Chains A and B, each alone.
Chain A
Amino acid sequence: MSLELENVVKLAHDGLTSSLPGWAAAAIEYVLVGVLLLALYCVLALILIFLERKICARFQCRLGPNRVGPWGSLQLIADMVKILLKEIVKISKSDKLLYYVAIFLAIIGSFCTFGALQFGKGLACIDFNVGIFYILAISSLGVIGILLAGWSSNNKYTLIGAMRSGAQLISYELSAGISILTMVILAGSLNISDIINGQENAWFIFQAPLPALIAFIIYLIAGHAETNRGPFDLPEAESELTAGYHTEYSGIQYGFFYLAEYLNMFIIAGVATTVFLGGWQPFHIHADWASGFNHVMDYIPSYIWFLGKAFSLVLLSLWVRWTFPRLRIDQLLHLEWKILMPISLLNMLVMAVWVLIF
């Protein structure tokens, strides 16, 4: 397993601890991990935006960006430079402090969740006994940023957008949480490492096919709604609200919201991968005749498995986004409170019975 990054991490850790006192090594490691995560965050955002533009173009029978660089791959760099060079507009009658703090809250919420994902074997930054609970809690922090942004901009569009976002997140967080809880019943642990290790022989979605599949679909729908995208993009419904909560932001501040939105999409896919599709665990068939197949699967590095699964879910979310029209606010709440919520509660019961029986 020379392709695994686990050994590199171990080597770096051993090198640092052998030559430095413990506190200094720990401090350097914290900084290194933070910088690496930030870099990964930005690179993934660029990849995701590029992917979105190319794929939405294909859904509309277009080609997408194809002029700057090979296949338009440098278009994103050009756009990034453009957004960095743009003026940051100061709103004279806004709540200054909250207006500037809001963007950081939105991106901190997204980044902290991102840090809790496990990208591969031995590539876990935050790993403790209530890891999945931490992910659920911290990912909801972003909505505070959105609410504050809408409130402090002193603009009716932003306020309406923020309030819609708040209502949407509070509603859909419930069924997302319940469907994750359903899987926690199956895993018997809130620790992300334990959850992933429990799927070594078969992913959870295959371990309890019926309730896990329902929970998976509900989590994808609810998670998609939490990212304020696709048919659930009421908070930034451009036909009604200009750009929703980030109407008054420009330049890099707008860029932060943009970044957070795209990374949230990846984070939802990553959490769904971790909880339902086995995280970085390769696809194994738990049978005697399949040992050769399992060995071949083992040769693919774990981070490739994780990124591959997460990106397939991202593609699914893009597919959904570019297919369905936007819901009305009453339809949105109807979908959550009358359909997803009862089904996920019932599903949790089914899963509990399943775990008791098998």
Chain B
Amino acid sequence: MIQYIKDLFSGIWNLLQGMKITMINFIRKPITECYPENRGTKVYAERFRGELTMPHNANNEHKCTGCGICQMNCPNGTITVKTKQITTDDGKTKKILDQYLYDLGSCTFCGLCTMGCPQKAIVWSNNFEHSVYRRATLVKQLNKEGSKLEEKKVVAPQQEEKKVINSNTNQQQ
């Protein structure tokens, strides 16, 4: 009999605790996002991977040297780096980026490309509104027309070193 009464009151106590928790949730602000309305105001997490971009500075210069590490890192062939040979003014032959093709349709947003990039030339942007009408539109060229490699403002020996690394990776490729 004592056990019965004890069970009864502990049961009621437990039920009240459950109701307290739901009431706390009831009073809380709903976490639902009203998406199209909050387009301008919504703040996204910095690390949110929307799509791959290649930032260009004001002079239409990017940092991509065309090394192709991102292309090798990519597990499903999303990135194609096309390079071309040019001759500089002082007569040297140099390999520069021609087209950086990124197929959004096959990207899994794993982030291995940006992690491996030695120049930090590609970064993730927060834009997630990707829908297009044709699949071919999903293949994007990330380097802008007429853009060129950003010149390094560093001392010469380091540049030499970088070149060596670059040539090594090219050989591996």
Residues of A within 8 A of B (CB): 55, 57-63, 66, 319-320, 322-324, 339
Residues of B3-21 contacting chain A, CB below 8 A? 8, 15, 18-19, 21
Q: Type the 1/0 row for B1-42, where 1 means its CB is closer than 8 Å to any CB of A.
A: 000000010000001001101110110101110100000000
Given contacts A324-B15, A339-B8, contact A61 B30 (CB under 8 A): yes
CA distance A302 to B59 in the complex (A): 76
Given contacts A66-B34, A324-B15, A339-B8, contact A60 B25 (CB under 8 A): yes
In the complex, chain B residues whose CB is within 8 Å of the CB of A57? 30
- Are the C-beta atoms of B25 and A319 separated by less than 8 Å? no
CA distance A323 to B21 in the complex (A): 8
- Are the C-beta atoms of A319 and B22 separated by less than 8 Å? yes
CA distance A60 to B30 in the complex (A): 8
* Size category, B interface: 10 to 19
- Are the C-beta atoms of B30 and A58 separated by less than 8 Å? yes
Given contacts A324-B15, A339-B8, contact A59 B22 (CB under 8 A): yes
CA distance A60 to B23 in the complex (A): 10
- Are the C-beta atoms of A62 and B30 separated by less than 8 Å? yes
Q: Which residue of A lies closest to B12 (CB)?
A: A217
- Are the C-beta atoms of B32 and A62 separated by less than 8 Å? yes
CB distance from B84 to the nearest CB of A (A): 52
- Are the C-beta atoms of A323 and B22 separated by less than 8 Å? yes
- Are the C-beta atoms of A324 and B30 separated by less than 8 Å? no
- Are the C-beta atoms of A323 and B19 separated by less than 8 Å? yes
The contact of A323 among B8, B18, B28, B30, by CB within 8 Å, is B18
CB pairs A–B below 8 angstroms (30 shown) = A55-B26, A57-B30, A58-B25, A58-B26, A59-B22, A59-B25, A59-B26, A60-B25, A61-B25, A61-B28, A61-B30, A61-B32, A62-B30, A62-B31, A62-B32, A63-B30, A63-B34, A66-B34, A319-B19, A319-B23, A319-B26, A320-B19, A322-B22, A323-B18, A323-B19, A323-B21, A323-B22, A324-B15, A324-B18, A339-B8
CA distance A66 to B38 in the complex (A): 14
CA distance A40 to B21 in the complex (A): 35
CA distance A55 to B26 in the complex (A): 8
In the complex, chain A residues whose CB is within 8 Å of the CB of B26? 55, 58-59, 319
CA distance A305 to B23 in the complex (A): 25
In the complex, chain B residues whose CB is within 8 Å of the CB of A323? 18-19, 21-22
- Top 8 nearest A-B pairs (CB, nearest first) are A63-B32, A323-B22, A63-B30, A61-B31, A323-B18, A58-B26, A62-B32, A323-B19
CB distance from B125 to the nearest CB of A (A): 28
CA distance A59 to B32 in the complex (A): 12
CA distance A115 to B18 in the complex (A): 35
CA distance A7 to B83 in the complex (A): 91
CA distance A66 to B35 in the complex (A): 12
CA distance A3 to B150 in the complex (A): 80
CB distance from A299 to the nearest CB of B (A): 31
In the complex, chain B residues whose CB is within 8 Å of the CB of A320? 19
CA distance A321 to B86 in the complex (A): 73
